[in-house]
Amino acid sequence: MTAPSTFGLSTEARNLHWLLSNLVEEVPGVHSVTVVSSDGLMLLSSDPGHLTAKAAAPAAGTSDGPKGSSADLATIVSGIGSLTVGAAKLMDGGGVKQTMVAMEEGSVFVMSISDGSLLGVHATPDCDMSVVAYHMALFVGRAGHVLTPELRSELRTSLESAQ
């Protein structure tokens, strides 16, 4: 993974980038990670160099993420988050804390962050789900209190300028 440029960013933004990079590099089986705002916009990505889908589909078995794009992962995370919030309302289930989708060729985890943002992880099918969930909870605990409206705006601007 190539670390995104954090030049010119606030200390809080640099710390979030570091936490995100650490999650991908330190947790076995994690392919990619994204943070999506409550309105569905990508704020952080473990793969900022690939914000748009690739023109040609990658060869079978060679993609490290959905269609090789962090924008695709952000869309998936936003959709899963919206679907589970709606389901929880219909079932009077309260707030959604975490959602996990296990597939034959991978797993997707979505965890709520205190401000309504979502942390999404795409991992291998054989990952240790409890380890992934534990590290996601650590990220949420460390990041949730600093995701202010000002920081969300700074992160969005940073991603847009990287395109």
Digit-coded pLDDT (tens) for 60-80: 444 454 555 678 899 999 999
For the chain, domains (ranges, CATH) are 27-50+66-162 (3.30.450.30)
Between 56 and 14, the more confident residue is 14
- How many residues would you count in the chain? 163
**Residues sharing a CB contact under 8 Å with residue 25, sequence separation 6 or more, in sequence order:** 1
Express each pLDDT in 120-136 by its tens digit: 999 999 999 999 999 99
| Mean per-residue pLDDT, 138-153 | 88
52 pLDDT above the threshold of 60: no
For 111, other C-beta atoms within 10 Å of its C-beta total 22
Taking CA atoms, 61 is separated from 43, 47, 79, 115, 129, in Å, by 28, 18, 24, 36, 21
57 pLDDT above the threshold of 60: no
pLDDT for res 148: 84
56 pLDDT above the threshold of 90: no
Which residues does residue 106 pair with via DSSP β-bridges, in sequence order?
A: 103
- Please name the residue that has the structure tokens 């695709």: 72
Pairing of strands 118-123, 30-36: antiparallel
| Secondary element (H or E) of residue 101 | strand 98-103
